[in-house]
Amino acid sequence: MRITVSGLPGSGTTSLARTIASRRDYQIISAGEVFRQMASEKGMDLADFGELARKDPSFDRLIDERQREIALSHEDMIVEGRLSGWFVREADLKVWLMASLECRVERIFERDRVSDHETALNLTREREECEAERYRTYYDIDIDDLLPYDLILNSERFDVEELAAIVETSISVIEARSP
């Protein structure tokens, strides 16, 4: 089974993807981790690296194409990333996580050890605007269009274990339908 997990920064996609992968012994590929790793390798923060990616589409395309190739080469795979639901059309289940900006900024503040909440808010807004522009320009994708997704879940209302239980139920339904 191939599952995609997508959402805006700080929505909990990586946590959910890791939880499901662990429970089901699936492999996982994360676009965000690849993006952060590439930024770190260049000695850049996410905002600066995002700006570089805006100027050079090869960074996004490299991540997206590699993620799709890996996803299609494995049967039991979780593909985590902002656009994974768009690019892995063959996925059996596509999940979108949502949470308020305030909640996501708080998570980013804690996760990335940003100096203060105002900085975390500004960095998050800049990153989201930059990414939305790149997605429109490179792929003609509106990140706010959730039509490709089968499940839209509120990660502010449910913790990661509860989200995983909902996804597990959906997986069971899909598996029961399969011949």
pLDDT digits (tens, 9 = 90+) for 109-158: 888 777 788 888 888 898 899 889 988 988 999 999 999 999 999 999 99
The rounded distance, in Å, linking the Cα atoms of 124 and 104 is 9
Question: What is the CA 155 to chain-centroid distance, rounded?
Answer: 13
CB-based burial, 95-119: b 16+ in 10 Å, e otherwise: bbbbbeeebbbbbbbeebebeeeee
The rounded distance, in Å, linking the Cα atoms of 102 and 119 is 13
pLDDT digits (tens, 9 = 90+) for 23-37: 999 999 887 777 777
Q: Which residue has the tokens 């050890």?
A: 113
pTM equals 0.84
Domains in the chain (CATH in brackets) are 2-171 (3.40.50.300)
